[in-house]
Amino acid sequence: MRIFAVSDLHTDFAENRRRLQQISSTSYSHDVLVVAGDIADDLRIIDWTLRMLRSRFGAVFYVPGNHELWVRGGECDSIEKFRQVLSLCDEIGIHTRPGRAGKNWIVPLFSWYESDYDQQGEADVSSLEGWADFYFCKWPAEVGSVSKYFLDLNESRIREYDGPVITLSHFLPRRELLPAVENLIFKGLPLVAGAVALDRQIRALNAVTHVFGHSHIDFDQVIEGVRYIHHAFDYPRGEGWSKEPLTQILGAEAQAETDHRREEM
Ligand SMILES: [Fe+2]
Ligand SMILES: [Fe+2]
């Protein structure tokens, strides 16, 4: 059994649906896929994408991203949409709750961004004018802090697990996972990228690996003992552009290494 990760499938683009369909329908039937959010906002496309992935992998773990919570027509609010996506996952057999993957546990963590992620206050607020979430997400007044609302949903998942823990979230749990503002194209990104309180949950879980999404800036680095991985399927980049659709985060060898490390501790 191998574990693969991906995020930001954005299959509302026909080209991304085509690229996704090219993933082998036979090679991954014993493997696990971790999907760190941003499939699409249209429930029919989310449904199509999750069914497709479910048919190709032994198991799929997933958390919704911000695009899933858009409610363009005003037919419901973003919390109701979140619940609809989770129900759809239950129906299809996609894991949104903690579950085993061989000796490992995979723990999905819900999240939303908050402005204190931009700890140095470097981001450019004026560049947020066109940020689509501000137009397409609708939060009921009783929710209060959206970031806290989602982090609170994780509390019952924070316990001891009898195996190495891999966590996943759509948003970024640490500022270091994003380049400095001068190196970002979108200078407002740190204001809508992550929540540092999320890292406290990851560390309370003793996670060995955390998979995140959202930034579309690939990352694979160990910080203070936790390996943080971001591998975006990404938006279509035009003719001649190609990228590995998935990244393998754990295989037979990596599993042996983890076991060895645990024995030494
Ligand atoms: Fe995305
Ligand atoms: Fe996102």
pLDDT in tens, the chain (265 residues): 999 999 999 999 999 999 999 999 999 999 999 999 999 999 999 999 999 999 999 999 999 999 999 998 778 999 999 999 999 999 999 999 999 999 999 999 999 999 999 999 999 999 999 999 999 999 999 999 999 999 999 999 999 999 999 999 999 999 999 999 999 999 999 999 999 999 999 999 999 999 999 999 999 999 999 999 999 999 998 887 788 999 999 986 554 445 455 555 4
The ligand minimizing its distance to the Cα of 66 is 2
| Whole-structure pTM value | 0.94
Three-class DSSP category at 9: coil
pLDDT for residue 253: 54
Residue 253 CA to ligand 2 center (angstroms) comes to 32
Distance 261 CA to ligand 2 centre (A): 33
Nearest to 7 by CA among 219, 237, 258, 252: 219
Which ligand is located closest to the Cα atom of residue 68? 2
Q: What separation in Å is there between the alpha carbon of 6 and the centre of ligand 2? A: 13
Cβ–Cβ < 8 Å for 193, 209: no
Interval between CA 162 and ligand 2 midpoint (Å): 31
Q: How many Å separate Cα 251 from the centre of its chain? A: 20
Pair of tokens at residue 162: 């009898």
**How many other β-carbons are positioned within 10 Å of the β-carbon of residue 51?**
15
Cα separation, 21 vs 26, in Å, equals: 12
Distance 39 CA to ligand 2 centre (A): 9
Closest listed ligand to the CA of 8: 1
Ligand nearest to the CA of 12: 1
* Distance (Å, whole) CA 138 – CA 70: 8
Question: Chain centroid to CA 113: how far?
Answer: 13
Task: Quote the CA–CA distance of 44 and 12 in Å, as a whole number.
Answer: 10
Distance 172 CA to ligand 2 centre (A): 10
